[in-house]
Homo-oligomer: A and B are copies of this chain.
Amino acid sequence: MPLPVDGASPGASAPQFPARAPSVQDLEMKLQEAEEENRRLRLQLGELRSEEHEGDNSSRCSQRSLTEKCELIHVAIVCAGHNSSRDVVTLVKSILFHRRNPLHFHLITDSVAQRILGNLFRTWMVPSLQISFYNASDLKPEVSWIPNKHYSGIYGLMKLTLTKALPSDLSKVIVLDTDITFATDIAELWAIFRKFTGEQVLGLVENQSDWYLGNLWKNHKPWPALGRGFNTGVILLLLDKLRQIGWEEMWRLTAERELMNMLSTSLADQDIFNALIKSSPSLVYELPCYWNVQLSDHTRSEQCYSELADLKVIHWNSPHKLRVKNKHVELFRTLYLTFLEYDGSLLRRELIGCPSDKEQEEALEELDEEDVCYDFRRERLASHRVHLSFLPQKTLAEDPTDVTLVAQLSMDRLQMLELICRHWEGPVSLALYLSDAEAQQFLRYAQASEVLQSRTNIGYHVVYKEGQLYPVNLLRNVALRNAQTPYVFLSDIDFLPMYGLYDSLRKSIVQENMAKTPKALIVPAFETLRYRLTFPKSKAELLSMLDMGALYTFRYHVWEKGHAPTNYAKWRIATTSYRVDWAPNFEPYVVVRRDCPEYDERFLGFGWNKVSHIMELDAKGYELVVLPNAFIIHMPHAPSFDISKFRSSENYRLCVQTLKEEFHQDLSRRYGSAALKYIAAERNR
C-alpha cells in the first residue's frame, strides 16, 4: 500500500544517477535537495515521536492539549505608523478568530500607532485580551547605531531589544511581524516552547528564499547564515534564558563584528539574528516550516505543505504582498481577505470557562425590556470600535487660530469628500461609520483618489457599525475630539462651504476674540434642490440665486424653526456680525473652541441630536453670533436608506420624547435654574 509520503517525495523512483556524467553543480543541487528533504522528514518524525512520547499520538491537534486551559499567551509586535497599524488589526483578527486562550499583546509602538491601537483596543473590548504598550522611541538608542537598508527602518531592528524592553518577569513571548496571518490557534505555536531543550532559546523557521545562499545575483553578498538562514517574521523567544545567557551582549558583539565587513544590514534584525546563530547554532529550535510560510518571490514554500490543514501561519513578506506570484496565492488570499473583512465585533466572544469581566453584560441585564427606549438604551451600551486616523495624516503645526471642519458620514456620502476638499483647504476631521468590509472599500477609494491623496490634513476616523441605529452624536464626538486645532467648524457632510470659508473663519476667530469669550459663530445655511448647481462665488451671487428660487434658506420647506433664529432677513443686509438669541429647536452650524461641550450621545438615529448641543452651548453661556459673510449650501441627495425607519415610528417618537425629558433634567442638574427656560420653552411648544 502506498504511503502518503511516497507520492510527495521528489523523484522517489527517478533515476538517481543519470546516464551522462553529472556536473558538480547538478550534484550539489541534488545533494542540497536531498539534505533538505531529510531535514524536513526528520522534523516530522521528531514531532510524531515526541507526541507519542507524551502519550498523545495524534498529529496536529495534540499541541492543543499541551497548553493548559486558560493559560495566558504572550505576543509581541513592533508597529509604527498608520499603515502598519492597519496591518496589525488584520493579524490580530486572525489570531482572535482561532484562539481559545487568554492573550496578552505587547505592542512596541511609535506615538502614532500607540494612539491608534490604544484607542482601538479600548473600544474593541475583547474579553480575555490584555494590551501593553512600550514606547519605541525609548528603544531607539539601543539600535540606532546600526546602519540598516531595509524598508522597515529602525523599527525593523527593535525585535533585538525585547529582552530589555519587555517586563523582566515575562519569561517567554511569541514575536510576530505585522504582515502575518494565522490560520490556526496560536496556542499550538505556544506549546512548542515546551519542546525546547538544552541551550535552545530561539524558535525559528528556515528562510524559504535563497537570499542567504548568496547566489541571487553577481556580487550578492548577504550576511552570514546557516544555509538558507532563518526568517524572523515568527520567533519564539525564551526571554528568561536569553537574559541569563547575556543575549544583549551577544547580539551587540555580533553586529559590531559583522558591520566591520558589511557596512549595513539589508534585512534588519534578521541579518543579526542569522549571524549570531551561525556562530551559536545550538540556540535554535527549528520550527516546522508551516509556522512561517513565506510568500516572498521565488519562494520555496510550496514544499512545505501538502494540504490546506498544513498551513498554520502565512507571512506576506514580499513587497508585492497580495499580488505575489505563487501557485496557491489565490488560496492564501482567501485566508487573508477572510480576516481583512471580518466583522471585528464578532471576536468579542468570551472564552467559555475562563474568567472574564462582565461589566457591560451586567449593564445590559439592568435594562428594562418594556421601556419604550429599550432599543435606544441597548444600543448606547454597545461599544463601537474606533480606528482613529485610518489613513496617514500629518501632525499639524500649532496655530492658535486654526479651525478644523468636523463632519460624519457613512458609505453613501463618500462622493461628498472630494467636493468638500475643493471648497475647504483647511484641516478636516471625519468620523466614518463603516463595516469592516466597507472600511476596505473606503481605503481603495481614498487611495485611488488624487484629490484625497494630495491632502495630508484630513483625519479619517472609522467607527465600526454596531446595531441598527445611526449613532450620530457618538460620531460627531469622535470627529470633534480628534480634531487637532483649537477651533472646530461643526458642519455636516452634505454641505459645501463657500469658497474661501476656511480663511474667512480664521479671520473671524481673531476678530471675535474667540480665545477669550465663549462664542459660537453661526455660518448661515442654505440649500439647493437641484443637482448641477453653479455654486455662488459671493454673497451677492447667493442672494440673487435666492431671489430667483435657485436656492432656499436651509430646510425652509420642512422645518423652518431649525434655522429661523439665524434671522436671514437681517443677514441679507448685514455687513458686521450680529448676536442672536437662542430659541427652541435652533440647530445652526457653528464654529466653536474645540473644548466645547460634547454632543449628547443618548440621541441616536435622527431627532434632537444637534438641537440638544446648541441648547447646552446656550446653557453654558455661549454667545450666538451670526457671521455676515459666510455661508454653506446643502447639496441634494436621495432619501437615505435609513435603517431606523424599521422601528415602529410611534415607539420612536415616544422614546425621543422621553430622552428629551431626561436631557432637560440633566441640564437643570448641571446648569441650575438657568436651564429651566428650556423646559418652559418645551412646554409652551
Measuring CB to CB, which residues of chain A are less than 8 angstroms from any residue of chain B?
Answer: 1-6, 8-12, 14, 16-17, 21-22, 24, 27-28, 30-32, 34-35, 37-39, 41-52, 55-62, 64-65, 69, 100, 195, 197-198, 206, 226-227, 278, 281-282, 284, 286, 305-309, 328, 330-331, 334, 337-338, 341-343, 346-353, 411-412, 414-415, 435, 437, 441, 444-445, 448, 529-532, 557, 635-641, 643, 646
Contact = CB atoms under 8 A, between A and B. Distances in A.
Contact of A637 (B12, B37, B638): B638
A12 B328 CA distance: 33
B307 A328 contact: no
Contacts of A532: 529, 557
A416 to B, nearest CB: 8
A351 B307 contact: yes
Among A21, A49, A278, A337, find the residue whose CB has the most chain B CB atoms closer than 10 A: A49
Contact of A58 (B22, B58, B226, B414): B58
Nearest to A305: B352
B100 A352 contact: no
Given A65-B59, A331-B349, A38 B41 contact: yes
Contacts of A346: 334, 337-338
Contact of A24 (B1, B24, B34, B638): B24
A9 B24 contact: no
A409 B308 CA distance: 37
Given A38-B34, A281-B12, A49 B3 contact: yes
Contact of A11 (B197, B281, B343, B349): B281
A4 B281 contact: no
Contacts of A28: 17, 22, 27
B352 A4 contact: no
B530 A282 contact: no
12 contacts: A5-B286, A8-B38, A8-B43, A10-B39, A24-B27, A41-B41, A57-B58, A61-B62, A444-B643, A529-B532, A636-B638, A637-B637
A202 to B, nearest CB: 12
Contacts of A2: 197-198
Nearest to A416: B638
Contacts of A352: 305-308, 328, 331
A100 B308 contact: yes
A44 B44 CA distance: 10
B46 A49 contact: no
- Smallest CB-CB A-B distances: 3 pairs: A61-B61, A5-B46, A3-B46
A8 B414 CA distance: 53
A61 B310 CA distance: 13
A266 to B, nearest CB: 20
A214 to B, nearest CB: 10
Contacts of A414: 641
A554 to B, nearest CB: 14
Question: Quick one: copies of this chain in the complex?
Answer: 2
Contacts of A57: 51-52, 55, 57-58, 62
B3 A16 contact: no
A9 B284 contact: yes
A377 B635 CA distance: 37
Nearest to A33: B34
Contact of A8 (B17, B30, B42, B412): B42
A639 B639 CA distance: 14
Contacts of A6: 42, 46, 197-198
A351 B307 CA distance: 7
Contacts of A635: 638
A484 to B, nearest CB: 28
A22 to B, nearest CB: 7
Given A3-B50, A16-B35, A46-B5, A11 B226 contact: yes
Contact of A9 (B195, B281, B331): B281
A428 to B, nearest CB: 18
A557 to B, nearest CB: 7
A643 B414 CA distance: 11
Contacts of A32: 16
Contacts of A305: 352
A367 to B, nearest CB: 15
A305 B69 CA distance: 14
A492 to B, nearest CB: 14
A307 B32 CA distance: 29
A466 to B, nearest CB: 12
A501 to B, nearest CB: 22
Contacts of A22: 24, 28
Contacts of A35: 14, 16, 34
Contacts of A61: 58-62, 64
A38 B14 CA distance: 12
A73 to B, nearest CB: 15
